[in-house]
Each structure stands twice: as structure tokens, then as C-alpha cells.
Structure 1
Amino acid sequence: MSVTTLTFFPISKPFSIFHIHTSISLRINPWPPIRRRMVSKASHSAHLGLAVQDDFHAFLEILPCDLRNNLLNEPKRAQLLEVILDLGRLPEARYLGDCGGKYLRDTQVSMEELEYAQNAVGEFGGDNRAGIEGTLHRISAIRSRNGVIVGLTCRVGRAVSGHVDMIRDLLPFGESILFVGRPGVGKTTVMREIARVLSDELNRRVVIVDTSNEIGGDGDIPHAAIGGARRMQVPEPSMQHRIMIEAVENHMPEVIIVDEIGTEAEALACRSIAERGIMLIGTAHGERLENIIKNPTLSDLVGGIETVTLGDAEARARRCQKSILERKALPTFPFLIEMRERHYWVTHWTQRSVDMLLHGKRPLVEVRRRNDQFEVVIERGTYDGSEI
């Protein structure tokens, strides 16, 4: 990706990106001015250079005693992503930034150890997920054909302060933001901190629609990491879209936060909420903008795609085929952020990027990353994704 470093300057008052778009030529980039932000070195920790709260001892309590001791003495404990317990196999630990895993001992996982972990966690929901009350840890089950748990994925949940600095300048605009990225890149962690910043620092009425208690943690009292945001739990994943609409109709939020938008009903609920003037912060399945555009279930989040037949004269003027792809409507999410890595994000002005990709061009995007001093650096350059 070719980039051009910007000169940053402060803005005294947030303003709508749509006002910018209507007052300038299409040849000029429609991005608002940006402030360069510095991260205090005093807030750095051993984990990714950010302040972290992980309730690690509560996580260890569900594991066999010998595994607890191994993990407590592990130098890379701060980078632990998850522990895998599969019946008849060696227990395995996986770490951030590492390919593959590390075996924790040379004896296999027994059914008694799985039952112990299951009893320590409690009841699993219809999505085969559970949590440890008062923490952000997530436990996911693998079942046999008879419904017996034969495997557990025990993922460490962390409340990380500092990620929001990557996009703090976008939050005052009140425009909806969609995050995409591969599993494990930190999307849910970012949702959690955005909820806290919007509710506590920007004084917005924030409601989190928490399908698997991943954002607010397990238990009836949400984790302190979400600040003053309110949390609505979802009994079954299939009910997420209903709870989203219920949150709007019953609790008058200014912001709705929802994780893992994945069905057509949820995409339609997002559009309905956005059309009522409510800011949406969400995540969707996909790594790049192109994945969302090509997904017939989720493409409505970025405006939807339709085939348009041009007249002969128009096709000759555009030097293209008579049947072309066009965006159907305004995007539900004006901003889309590709989380390539935990400290490397690509930010799209969705309307502009979708249109240019459909026309075979590469849009201008913002690359947001942290340098070696953990300062947030924002650059603009041509998108390196593929054409549609």
C-alpha cells in the first residue's frame, strides 16, 4: 500500500462527514481533519504496550492443577490467547503472534478433567458458550453426537485500555463504525473500550446487545470495563436482531453496540436502527471490505449491490460493459475499519470506497498504526485490496 504521511492539526469542533462531502469536489478526499494522538508511556504494560486487566487467577481455577502451575510460570503468560482441552489429546496453549500451540504436559486430557472444568464454569448456552462470572473469559464447548462435552476452548478475556486511541478522533462525529477482521485480532476488546469511552467520556446513552456475554462478561452484573454503558443479554443467538430493536424502542439509546453481525435479519435491524439516527458500533464476519461487499447476507451493511444495465451511449461514454455493479443505497455504516493486526488498521469512508471498488478503482484510505514508541500514526494512501 502506498502511503502519504499527513501534517496533523487540531479541530475545535466535530462536524459531519456528509457536510464535507456535499461542499467539495469529488476529486478531493472527503475525510475530515485528523488529530495525531500520543499514548502515554506510563500506561504501557507487558501486553501489547497497553494497560491490561485479565482476572487470570479466575481463569486458572477451571484448569487442572498441573496446568495452572505451568501457566503461572510461563514467561509468555501475558500473551496467552487460549487453552485447548480435547478428550484423549494433550492440553495445548496458544499465544498471540505464534503459529501453532505449545503442549502443556505429556499426558492426555481425561473426561474427569473436562467434567471438572464444566462444573466450574456452569451451564452452556444454546451457542455452546459459557463464561466465568465477573470476568471476560469465554469457554466454548465441542460436543459428541450424544451431546457430551468432549472438548473445551478456554479463551482468556482481557480488558485493554488504549486500543480506542486508534480511532478516538472518529467517535465525536456520531457516525456508525463497522469493524471487520479475522478471529482473535481484538474486535470484541475494542467494542468494550469504545462502550466505556462513549458512555463515560462523551456522556452518550450506550446500550450493548451482548449475545454471548463476550463484551460485558458473564453474570448479571456487567464487567467494569464497559463503564457506564448498559448491557442487554440475549437468551439465544437467533434472537439478537429482536433485542437490538427492543433496545431502541424501550431504552432510548444514542449508541447501540453489537458484536458479530452475521445474519440477514441482523443486517436489516442495523439499517432500521441507523435510519432512526442512532449511532451503531458493530463487528461483522470478514477480513476485508471486499468480503462484506461479496457477501449477499451482509452487503446491505455497506449499501448493498445491484446490477444495472446501461444504455449503449452511456456504456460507450464510460468505456465499460452494459451490465455493471452499483451500490443500491447509503451504507448503514459510514465508516468501515479493517483490523489487519492489533496495531495496524485500515479505515474506509464506506460510500466512497465501495463505489470506487465497484468501478475497478482503488480508493483512498487511512492507515492507522502504532510505531515503536506506541504513538498512533495516521497516514493516507491507496487501498491495497482487490477489485470487485
Structure 2
Amino acid sequence: DVVNAYGPTECSDDVTHATLTPGTETRHAHIPIGTAVRNTRLYVLDEDLRPLPVGVRGELFVAGTGVGRGYLDDPARTAAAFIPDPFSTTPGARLYATGDIARHLPTGELEFLGRRDHQVKIRGQRIELGEVENALRDLPGITDAVVIAHTDPNNQTRLAAYTTGPLLPAQTRTALATTLPETLIPTHITTLDTMPLTPNGKIDRAALPTPDLTFERTPYRAPGTLEERLLAELFAEVLSVEEVGLDDDFFTLGGHSLLATQLIARIRSDFGVQLPLRTLFETPALEPLAAEVTALIAEGAHDGGHTAGVETLLAEIEHLSDEEVEALLSGSAGPAAGPTQVAPAAGPTQVAPAAGPTQVAPAARPAPVQPAAGPAPAAGPVPGRPAPGADAHRPTHASTRL
């Protein structure tokens, strides 16, 4: 058997233990991190610090005796990471925001899913970079992989992957298409001899070469009908590209949900038809989309001069949940709702050794928040807590703790 010990330096290192056996169930490269050690409480919370049900991913927070007091001479960073504990009645109790994404398993254990600062949103879909990395590492011929989000010259966010091993980029892309939806397949894949490493042996993402984000276009087929030619001009205008062929995909060319609203508004205005926004997600290639427009014209599905503007379309897409957008983009149904019970992982209650004599209270510590009534107390946003994606510079290595 192997014991998997998880924990940040800010919380006396180990906060969970999981005993792994040959029969332990794993999901790709995700393995259970177990349950809380003594005098430790663990919570999987949403952005408003509300506990999440079993199976729902959120940020992992640590509470209990092992939580440190803060970072030496860094009150701003301390206030962002060590926040008042809304689930404790002990004055001054704090939660440590790990920055790690996790979820409760039906077994009562926790599963580590990746870093909070490795979560990006592309084409309206939240993407865990670690999920793509795990899929790459599962491929025969890939020995290691890193995926980053990169902004191209058109200010569009794209996925770029770096791999080591003999598998060629074209082969990698083909293999990924059998396991991942199109939105999770990196636009560009770079093969490296070795990954750049930091002095402590972790992959140095800052040292990765700048990716060439030019995408491979399908062989050009010229639009033929009037509708195809007009639609190709709209694609080119909205996406800021020179030429669009019948097989070109709106999203592959750099489209995303906001540009989709602009295109649909132009289609409704220029063609005089009420084309649903959902249709673009379902048929993003030029030729089939032009066929949809042609069919609406033939059916007389005009909008009576009441063309919806971009504001209306933005409202339309705002009503789509992340799951609905993901389902539209991937062509699959949205995830089923998980159980609603919440059970914070807590370990035994034996007393642990007291903190060392060098621990000092951080400057300007916020006042503790009293817990709300009920089993799942809600807490509002905490001042100093970064928004999702804004904590990309939070160190993931061992940090000096008071």
C-alpha cells in the first residue's frame, strides 16, 4: 500500500492522508487525497464561500490547528490567503485558501483536480488545463505534457500544449480527438526534448517557448451560392480574417460567445431571418450554417423588421449556463446534477501540538466572521480574495510561513 499525503506548507504540510491500494479507483491522473488528519477541517467551497455538494468541484479550504498565521512581512498576501473562518465559533479562527480545485467523493474522501489558477474560460466554457494535460499524458508516446492559455494576435485565448516523447503533434491532435471535445484540443502542440524546470524541480511555465498559434486551415473551398458568399463576408468581418471557405469553422477561426452574438445580429439584420444563437453553436461551419439560413429564407422565417440587437443577444447567451454552453460546444448533454448533501471532511479530534513560538499574528488581520445558522452557512465575498484566474502568481511551491 501507498499513503498519499497532501497538504500545503502554510498548513503544517500534511492535511490529508489517503491509503492507496492496487484496487483504488482513479480517474485518469486524478487520485484521492483522502480525509482530514487530526484537528483539521476541509471544505470545498464556491466563490462565495458556500459548501458544495458531493461531486461538485470547488476550491479547497483548510481550517483547524495546523493553519499558519500568515506570510512574513507580507500582510496583503496574508489577507488574501488566510481569511476569517465563517464555520468556526473560535475568535480569530481562519481558513487557508489553498488555490487547489477538489471535490468530495461519494466515499467521503477528497479528489484533487488541479490548480485554481490553471482554470481558464474559452468560448464560454470553463476549462481545467490539468484535465487536458492528463489526457495528453495518457497517450502512448507522450512522456510529459504542459498546457497553457495563450492570447493570439487577434486577442483571442487559445490552448497551447507542450509535450515530450516521440508522438508527433499531428498524431497527438488526432489521438486527443477520440477522448476530448473539440474545445479542449490545443490549437498548437509543440514537441520539446525536455521540459524547462525551476530550481526546485517543477516545470517552469514562464520558460516555455512562445507558441506559434497559427492554426491549420482546411483546404479552401470557395462559397458558391449568394447566401454562402454573403455569410463568408460576415465571418471574415467579425473574425478579422481575410478569406473564409465552406469548411471553415467559426470557432476554429477564433470565434467565441461574444463574437457569436455579433455574427448572429448581423445575420438577422442582413438576411432578415430570426436565426437562433444556438444554431451557430450546433453548426459552426460556413456551409451548413448557410444552408440553415437559406432554409429559413425559403420558409419565410423573417423577423418582421424587429431584428434583435447585440444587447438582446448578449442577454440570450447570459441565460445559458456554463453546462449548456459546454454541451453546445462539445455536442454532449450537460452533466447531471449531483447530490445535495454537504459533509465537510473532518478528521479525529485528538489534540495536536501547539504552534511553534515563532508564529506571529499578521498585520491588519480581518475580524472573524460569525457562522450563519444552518448546516451550510453562506458567506459573502471576502475583501482581498482574488477573482478566479486572478491568482496566477500565487506561489505553488513551499513558502516561508511564520
TM-score (norm 1): 0.28
More relative contact order in 1 or in 2 (CA 8 Å, sep 6+)?
A: 2
Higher strand share: 1
- Compare CA radii of gyration and give the structure with the larger one: 2
TM-score (norm 2): 0.27
